[in-house]
Structure 1
Amino acid sequence: MVPVTGEQVSARGSWFRAEDGSAVRRAAERLGDQLGMPTARIADLAIVAAELTSNLIKHADDGVLLLRPVRRELDAGVEMVAIDTGPGMVDLTHSARDGHSTAGTLGIGLGAIVRQASWFDAYSRPGRGTVIAVRVFADAETDPPWVGGLTRPLSGETVSGDGHAARIVGERRQVLVTDGLGHGPLAAAATDAALTAFRDAPAAPPAEVVGHLHRAMSHTRGAALAVAEPDPAAGVLRYAGLGNIAGAVATVDGRRRGLVSLPGIAGHQRPVIRQYDYPFDAGSLLVMHTDGVADRWQLSDYPGLSGRSPLVMAATLLRDAGIRRDDAGVLVARSWS
């Protein structure tokens, strides 16, 4: 489960416990206002925040919620991810209909969330809990996201040293996962430097991008990191990593192939940087995570999860495989049409 002590705040989002429902609603409204969302959509955002936290309180065990801004090409919106280890639901579609209830209430919560959302996805298993992801923009979102990720800090810390990012530069789609050495503000500063350098890096193969990040991080304590470039049209995944970032390609038939990261620390010494290419067809998934997530997960343990969005997959793996004594981060990317 995602460990949280009070509200955990960083540039990569804010974590709240389920019982902080009013704080979640106020923070969501404030974020929507800062992003310039219309008043009516801020009101919708408040409904979503209230219903998500209400559902966590009524139905969930150890529920937490991540709140953060999310950007697309022309505007920005608000994203919320609710995670719990509660009783779960057998049929999410049925549970989202108004009037369905498992707690003697009116049963309008999940249906209200779906109606107000620009984008919605969820995964639930009886006895294992539920993950719900929601995005609210000024208008509808037309394309489902091809990549999703999230991080959370070590218990007791207010910032995470782990981070992730995605970018499209020319014909290239690339993702980054980074783990600043140690934890706390200095680890977060190293990861922030990597995220900034990744955003500004040239449109080059992953090995060259990793070299660019390494040079840009010389003033920090350094980080383990990896850059991946899925290219389903060419049937290949290009990958370059330094340090203890785990990566795997999972296929539709349940197979999982690990990806190679070389020893080294981005920002320190002169590490060997090498790119490896792996098969990556239209049905493949890329999963990357820091060492704050145990590498024991198997998608075959989660019936139907591979058909959900990358964000919901990442949140589910973080919940179940995240290690409480370390920062943790997971990113999932899939092929696109």
Structure 2
Amino acid sequence: MEPLIGAEVLWIPIDDTSAVGAARRMATGLADRAGFDEARSGELAIAVTELAGNLHRHAHDGAMALRLTRPYSSADGTAEPAVEVIALDHGPGMADFEAHLRDGYSTGGTLGVGLGAVTRLASTFDAWSQPERGTVVAARFAAPRRPITRIGAPAAPGRDRAAGLTRPMAGETACGDAYAVRRTADGVVAVLCDGLGHGPLAARAAQRAVEVFTETADEDVTALVTRLHRELRPTRGAAVGVVRLDQTRGLVQFAGLGNVAGAVLRSGERSRHVTSMPGIAGHQARTIRSFDYPVEGNALIVLHTDGLSTRWSFDGQWGLAGHDPLVIAAALLRDAGTRRDDAGVLVLTSRP
């Protein structure tokens, strides 16, 4: 199965009416690259216009992220392109999000299609909203359209257990943070990397780390970090973290170099922070070793670069744990991300 690679993300602040049109044009441009037919591209345009319009009318600090990915796998094992749409804000939030999905429900002038239509047009849809904290929506649009999958419910067989999101620092278009995920027979193995500094050279270091990871079949996290350290020598270097979730054994294994941080979390329990060794992959590594963390039942594994505050928490938001990892990653980036550095977050879910 082709690995899921964190693709380039187009970020659009939705701060005026023109931004709604810009988001629609960017989305249809991605649809063209994905080979969407005219009808499917039009459906995507409707959904993006609705989501961006809601951000403009109702939200504070609203933004939309768009990217072209290949997270779906067809029966013959080939990956199918999809456009992912993430809308996030610090707005008033919604106490009853389900009500907003019903046709005819409105709190103000809208397109008339509403969020309910967005869910019908999307291949997968999930959202998280809290009064006074804002809303996060994540929708994937595959070509051709697939039956809608609502995600804030028990995991469906084969559902992705990992997702990530990256954002460049303010004023930059290239992001020095990147990630990739690969399924294994018993779970997933993933990498998160933070190229040294920011800008194109940092992005190149992170992209090289992703290339090495995807070209390597080895699932041993220590061996993977050792290989990354060797292969990143021609670059400016990066902080890297490699995590393996073994569902069969109920175990998380982690190895890292540098400032990739993370934690294993369960509701009602104290979080266990993962240990990354000092160094810079490609330049300095005195010791490379892995650490094991047991996981049982519903647990979250969160990795992030230093573009997220180390003081982030799920305070009052443990309902997030049952949602799409992409929604969780977007909520963390919204709440704890800084615009003074590239930011990247990767979320793995452990469910029975």
TM-score by length of 1: 0.93
Aligned to 1:274: 289
- After superposing on structure 2, the runs of 4+ consecutive aligned residues of structure 1 that deviate more than 6 Å are none
Q: In the alignment, residue 59 of structure 1 is paired with which amino acid?
A: H
Task: Using the TM superposition, name which of 238-247 and 134-143 deviates more.
Answer: 134-143
CA contact (8 A) 1:24 1:49 kept: yes
Deviations 1:165-207 (A, max 9, x none): 1112454511111111111111111101101111111323111
For 2:131 and 2:318, the matched residues in 1 are separated by 12
How many Å separate the matches in 2 of 1:44 and 1:27? 14
**AA aligned opposite 2:63:** V
What is the one-letter code of the residue matched to 2:8?
Answer: R
Q: Alpha carbon RMSD of aligned pairs, Å?
A: 1.7
Shift of 1:282: 2.7
Question: Cα offset for 1:88?
Answer: 0.6
2 CA distance for matches of 1:324 and 1:240? 27
Task: Measure, in 1, the Cα distance between the counterparts of 2:279 and 2:121.
Answer: 46
- Of the three residues 234, 238, 245, the one matched with 1:219 is 234
Local SS of the residue matching 2:315: helix
1:92 aligns with 2:97: yes
Secondary structure class of the residue paired with 1:177: strand
Residues 278, 285 of structure 2: 8 Å contact kept: no
Matched, 1:13 2:18: no
Is the 2:308–2:337 Cα contact (8 Å) retained in structure 1? Answer: yes
User: SS where residue 262 of structure 1 aligns?
Assistant: coil
Matched residue, 2:46: 47
Task: Choose the corresponding residue for 1:184, options 199, 219, 234.
Answer: 199
- CA shift in 2, pair 1:270/1:28, >3 Å: same
Q: For residue 315 of structure 2, what is the aligned residue in structure 1?
A: 300
Contact kept? 1:172, 1:203, Cα under 8 Å: no
Q: Which moved more, 1:97-106 or 1:120-129?
A: 97-106
Determine the C-alpha separation between the residues in 2 that align with 1:328 and 1:106. 33
Which of 139, 151, 164 is the aligned partner of 2:145? 139
User: Unpaired runs of 5+ in structure 2?
Assistant: 1-5, 150-157
Give the aligned partner of residue 31 of structure 2. 32
The equivalent of 1:64 in structure 2 is 63
For the residue of structure 1 that corresponds to 2:22, the secondary structure is helix
Larger CA deviation: 264-273 vs 142-151: 142-151
Cα contact 1:254–1:299 (8 A) shared by 2: no
Shift of 1:105: 4.3
Partner of 2:152: none
Q: Identity, % of aligned pairs?
A: 47
1:164-243 matches, within 5 Å, as 164-171=179-186, 173-243=188-258
The total of aligned residue pairs comes to: 328
